[in-house]
Chain A
């Protein structure tokens, strides 16, 4: 089988050697995590059991824990409004959590858009689509800066009019129309125009959380990189493939840790590798087999 055919279905050997469950462990855990977050919000309106109120922009859990999305908080600041203390405390808690544990954990373990873009990436791989062209990976930082400048100029949180991430989260939790449009737009873009286009190149929220977690603790390590047989499955499945090479191939660094803030800690590389090259660890763990 050619290498190209192989990259259509990364992880085939891992499923064969480890079994489906072990080869999909983090995928399943992430889906459960994403679903749990939504269910915490939906148990109230659906079953009258109120756990988390609001949505991912800002919420109150069990009537005590306020959480506010720091990107929305910053947009509000840029628009010239100083949010009240409840939002301030909520944003501080969220910032502390992601700065400590990994900024883009949000993208891979919480955000429902991830399900959409993972599905688009999966289908794109399966169909072998090479169409379209992805914008530069730094575009997201320009969108992030642009959204804050636009907020300052207009005096409103402008980006939230079109932000498909919050639109989808809100629409799902409040049962509003609009969720389908957001899903279709992102799915079509990622499938037909740009591979991993939204989450990996454009989304300013992902960029914000990436910046937030630059020094975060939880990291994936390629500590068994000596076993790598260059099957490329991890590159094929990784939503931010550029983050793997420095750790796996010692390109510009000796450490086996994936330290790039773009890494979402999704763990798919761990899943699909049948050589057990990758593991979750913390950023001070420099152990390596080579």
Chain B
């Protein structure tokens, strides 16, 4: 361009109308691109930290895990509309849960585990996995008896409410009886959750009679521990093998326990005679 002096208008050396137009055009593109990029980046900022739900906000049955759900849910609310118990709600904008996505809080309204799972059927995208046809396979979360200090059954009372209301009673929650060392003559019937069967519906948490529930539904990932891969349970291995893997063990006599079965080290104290059994409240 500089070799062709006719392209330059006089009085404004070095700037041709074409280059002004080009510069203006490029500036416009740059500004628009910059603005667009900024706007979309700004939209991304709140997402990163908040993509994890608060622990007490549970997704509907069949919800894809974590970010997969947020890629699939288009926030239409059809699941909410088809929930016959108004369990599901749409998250408002700016809250802890991604705005417009469905969730429920077990303590408020738990999932009633409908046999026909209308919320999953309503989902147009498959964010609630249509392969879930048996509600017992749902894993909305996992109930955890999170406070043994206030659970009435742990205190020795027969509350049992969480166990009684469990839709998968005797499988998802069992009562495990244990000797009550305080009274020394009663049983503790401890509500015990089994992750094989618990759907995370939250009926137990909703029904817990305490002002603050002692049993709570948490995300499975938060609630579950995991054994290291190399761990083997000896008793399972033994059963699989059909006998001890290390052969019969030599049983050494223990002085004073000669008449008892091997391994039984319980010490017997003679009961006091007469009416007084020795029991103290």
Contacts and interface: CB of A to CB of B under 8 A. Distances in A.
B43 interface: yes
A58 B93 contact: no
B260 to A, nearest CB: 62
Contacts of A97: none
B124 A135 contact: no
Contacts of A120: none
Given A174-B80, A178-B99, A202-B39, A76 B93 contact: no
Contacts of A150: 40-41, 43-44
A76 B77 CA distance: 16
18 contacts: A44-B81, A53-B78, A55-B77, A57-B75, A79-B72, A81-B68, A83-B74, A136-B29, A136-B31, A138-B32, A142-B33, A143-B39, A143-B40, A160-B75, A160-B99, A161-B43, A161-B99, A171-B92
Contacts, number: 175
Nearest to A147: B40
B124 A177 contact: no
Contacts of A69: 74
A75 B43 CA distance: 14
A81 B36 contact: no
Summarize A's interface: helix, strand, loop or mixed: helix
Interface in A11-43: none
A155 B71 contact: yes
Interface of A: 44, 53-55, 57-60, 66, 68-69, 72-73, 75-76, 79-81, 83-84, 86-87, 90, 135-136, 138-143, 145-147, 149-151, 153-163, 166-167, 170-171, 173-174, 176-178, 181-182, 202
- Chain B contact residues (Cβ within 8 angstroms of A): what range? 35 or more
Given A87-B124, A136-B31, A150-B41, A157 B92 contact: no
Contacts of B70: 79, 155-157
A54 B81 contact: yes
Which residue among B73, B76, B94, B123 has the maximum number of chain A CB atoms within 10 Å of its CB?
Answer: B76
> Which secondary structure characterizes the binding site on chain B?
helix
Contacts of B99: 160-161, 167, 178
B100 interface: yes
A223 to B, nearest CB: 33
